[in-house]
Structure 1
């Protein structure tokens, strides 16, 4: 019984190692996490400049007279 169990376990381990069904999913997860990480880095690096630009635009627009 023990020998049959170990043989079956070895066959199951071999099948698991040779199985390639989940590889595509892993590739997409890694690719998506890289894209999201780069997006967050870019947003963090330009957020200060965007805020300064918004403040300058606000002060310019509030200082102008509207109407006749």
Structure 2
């Protein structure tokens, strides 16, 4: 019987999560890989948030909200 390599897709990080979870953790110095693991997403998504490619404006929103 062939092995089943299908699995659920990783979590898609929302704008709200970028503001309330990702940016505060980045600001505190947490590793991108650990943030990604905690959110069950690819580490590249955290990098995209950090560079502004994904969820532009999330940094400013986190700052405005006093989260960082």
Same fold per superposition (TM over 0.5): no
Higher helix share: 1
- RCO comparison, higher one (Cα < 8 Å, 6+): 2
TM-score interval (norm. to shorter): under 0.3
